[in-house]
Amino acid sequence: MSKIPRYNELILEELAQAVNREVALPNTLITVTYVECSPDLKQAKVGISVLPDNLAGTALRKLKAATRLLVPI
């Protein structure tokens, strides 16, 4: 049985905590909705949602700027 679903869940939990800690936007909720790792674990697709919708662009810019803080390379 593959361990990838468990890895997906662990990454989702850790990434959600890091986003809440490192990306501060007043009156905005940023949620990590899913993580899908590749079979070799070298890449992952991450889904997020932002409320309210009109701040999605600002949230994405802040997330992009904080990428190095969120994902150690």
For the segment 36-66, what is each residue's pLDDT rounded down to a tens digit? 999 999 999 999 999 999 999 999 999 998 8
CB burial of residue 56 (10 Å; 0-12, 13-18, 19+): middle
Cα(9)–Cα(33) distance, integer angstroms:
10
Cα(15)–Cα(51) distance, integer angstroms:
18
pLDDT of 50:
96
Mean pLDDT computed over 25-40: 94
73 pLDDT above the threshold of 70: no
3 pLDDT above the threshold of 60: yes
pLDDT of 68:
79
Q: Dihedral through CA 11, CA 19, CA 67, CA 8, nearest 10?
A: 10
